[in-house]
């Protein structure tokens, strides 16, 4: 079988050298390659932009804001009772707390309401 393999190999080698080389790339293939390169560049650019935006937002989440860092919010609606009235007992008051915030920061408020008939 070695002789037959050698004959087939020689025949294929001669036939391959008879075919003229093609140096021109077909126009349809050129269009497809350019379109694929453009789409890949767009996908890579979009991915880089999204990752950069995510890294920026993530880094900003770890940096405390100078506006609220270490400061307590100003109380709203604090009223001092008149000196002539007695203070309310805890049974006459209702306190409701609320927490708000995101990304690891919280701010809270406590609303105290008088449920008694006296002021």
- Identify whether the C-beta of residue 110 lies closer than 8 Å to the C-beta of residue 96: yes
Query: Can you give the pLDDT of all 119 residues of the chain as single tens digits?
Result: 688 899 999 999 999 988 888 778 888 899 999 999 999 999 999 999 999 999 998 888 777 665 555 555 566 666 665 666 677 777 888 888 888 877 777 788 888 888 888 77
Indicate the helix (H) or strand (E) that contains 9: helix 2-18
Element (H, E) at 54: helix 27-62
99: three-class secondary structure by DSSP? strand
Whole-model pTM over 0.85: no
């Amino acid at each position: 079988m070695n002789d037959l393999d050698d004959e087939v190999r020689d025949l294929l080698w001669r036939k391959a050298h008879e075919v003229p080389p093609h140096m021109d790339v077909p126009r349809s293939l050129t269009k497809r390659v350019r379109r694929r390169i453009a789409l890949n560049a767009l996908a890579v650019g979009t991915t880089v932009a999204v990752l950069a935006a995510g890294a920026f937002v993530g880094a900003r989440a770890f940096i405390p804001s100078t506006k609220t860092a270490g400061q307590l919010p100003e109380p709203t609606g604090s009223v001092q009772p008149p000196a002539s009235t007695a203070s309310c007992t805890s049974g006459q008051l209702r306190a409701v707390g609320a927490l708000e915030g995101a990304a690891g920061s919280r701010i809270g408020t406590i609303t105290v309401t008088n449920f008694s008939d006296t002021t």
